[in-house]
Amino acid sequence: MAAWQDDKLNRKDEAKFLTDFLINRYATKKDSFVLNIDAEWGFGKTYFLTNWKKQLEAESRCRVVYVNAWESDFSKNPLISFIAAVEGQLSDLIRMPGGEISSSWRDTLYNVGAITCASVVKKLTGLTYDQLTEVIYEDPEKQDEEIDSKQNPHNTTNAENDGNDKKSNSELVSKTAESVTNKLAQNLIAEQKKVESCIKDFVRNIENLAKEASSSFDTQKKAIQEPKNEKKPRENKSENVPLFIFVDELDRCRPQYAIELLEVIKHLFSARGVYFVVTTASDQLSESIKAVYGSGFNAKRYLSRFFTQTYTFIEPNLSDFAYYLLTKEETPVNGTRTLYPKENDIGSVKTKAYLFAQTAKGLGAGLRDMEQAFSLIESVTLANRTRAAELTFVPLAFLALLKITKPDEYGELLSHFNANYHTESPSPKMERIKETLNNDNMMIPTWNGRGPEQNTFGEVMEILSASNKGRSHYITHRDNQRISDSYKHDLSNHLGLIDIHEYPKMIETAGRLLPISK
């Protein structure tokens, strides 16, 4: 599939901007770079990265390695999982024609082993005495000899030693502790120097791999662009593009794994010629980090030290976002018949998106509010999918959005969903709700030249009133103009509508499936 098919949020233009910025930056600075793309869950970060990768490779701009951190967060060693992804996607550069890995990559793997083994050093203080002496003394027999020599340096008899047991034991403990401390310190220093040396070699090997990636991709590009017999001198641009490494789904990982992955790959963040792009929902990831380090930990500052710059997506308009929600592949709303009006009528996908966006606008809902409300609609739709009767989209959307954006008004409105309520005799509370919601912001303008302007709140109240009156509220012709009129027509003609009085209970039940938070 080609890149950017079904790009409902117009992300292609943003990818072009980032491509031009990053490649031109590298051509000028020849440096390392770490870009963080910060966007909330559900705003298309994975779609963006996977399609950006397709675009870069289709245009022969540069090589890209895509790492889905969440797919490997079961691993106990994030660096090994990361290196495996790099090796798998750059195997043409790493493996020889016979299938064996190159000597430079073998050195890289050796360095990875040394770096990951360094984690043992961090745990030394938690070892038992026996385990500690095993680390300090490479030869167990040497260990025994040294301890024996300390206990009996002059090979004296047991009788001669009886009177000095207490004193010698005390001195032995003191000398052993001093010896252990000195050797432990020496080992720690030596191990740290070894790890630092391995990190430098590791970074250098990755830099060389980035040069090979740029060179090989430039060669492929020339082969495609130039006829075989044409020999033109061309400027060598093989090192004018970086190797991109995209790290996705970090915020979905276990908190400890996400932290460990950042801590180990930060060594590569300084590799010249390698440009990292790391997507996060930083607010959620910060909360996960606090779960590890404590609520008082400055998680945002901690994250910021890993990144050179942060990019945030252009916020889409409400209509585009509503259409995106209604046409996501995984949503059941578009493909089911449980929402009314039906797809071939006034309730087409674009109409639904338009009505949803206008209702959200009237209630002052943001994109995250719309996404949460839509999750409620999806849950209600799925739960009622097998019922013969159908749901009415606008009142369902209105109530879901009202619950998310104005929970106080939503709570008061629920008390009026009873068989005795009619719009003709509202209570004082209802008057206050009408004052809040029955305004110009809730108007749905004419769309595509169809129907009059309608007030969402007013139409929902008309539907509620019609349901209270029952089928005696008869409309012989459905004019497809007002939502409430269409509802009344189908209600009176026994066309199978789920009673609107059931909606609040369904929404409340669906709300238990997901955290609703402001």
Position 454 scores a pLDDT of 73
Q: 320 Cβ partners below 8 Å, 6+ apart?
A: 8, 9, 10
Number of residues in the chain: 518
| Cβ–Cβ under 8 Å, residues 404 and 517 | no
H/E segment holding residue 205: helix 165-225
pTM for the complete prediction? Answer: 0.72
Position 114 scores a pLDDT of 67
Position 517 scores a pLDDT of 44
Position 246 scores a pLDDT of 97
CA–CA gap between residue 466 and residue 198 (Å, rounded) = 76
CA–CA gap between residue 37 and residue 40 (Å, rounded) = 10
CA–CA gap between residue 357 and residue 323 (Å, rounded) = 9
DSSP class per residue in 291-309: HHH-TTS-HHHHHHTT-SE
CA–CA gap between residue 504 and residue 405 (Å, rounded) = 15
Q: For every one of its 518 residues, what pLDDT tens digit does the chain have, with 9 covering 90 and above?
A: 789 988 888 899 999 999 999 999 999 999 999 999 999 887 889 999 999 999 998 887 789 999 999 998 888 888 888 888 998 999 888 887 777 888 888 887 877 776 666 544 444 334 444 444 444 444 445 545 554 555 555 555 555 555 556 556 666 656 666 666 777 677 767 766 776 777 788 888 888 888 888 776 555 545 444 544 544 444 444 458 999 999 999 988 988 899 989 988 888 888 999 999 999 999 888 988 898 889 889 999 999 999 999 999 998 889 889 988 888 766 666 544 444 444 444 447 787 888 888 889 888 888 889 999 999 999 998 898 888 777 888 888 889 999 999 888 888 888 776 544 444 555 666 667 777 776 666 666 655 555 567 777 777 777 777 776 654 444 545 555 566 777 777 666 656 778 888 888 899 999 888 654 43
CA–CA gap between residue 444 and residue 457 (Å, rounded) = 10
| Cβ–Cβ under 8 Å, residues 276 and 245 | yes
Among 87, 49, 91, 93, which residue's Cα sits nearest to residue 70?
Answer: 49
What are the beta bridge partners of residue 443?
Answer: 455
| Cβ–Cβ under 8 Å, residues 506 and 380 | yes
Both tokens of 70, joined, read 């969440």
H/E segment holding residue 391: strand 391-392
* Three-state DSSP state, 491: helix
Position 351 scores a pLDDT of 77
For 146, counting Cβ atoms within 10 Å of its Cβ (0-12 exposed, 13-18 middle, 19+ buried), the class is middle
Residue reference for tokens 């082969």 = 223
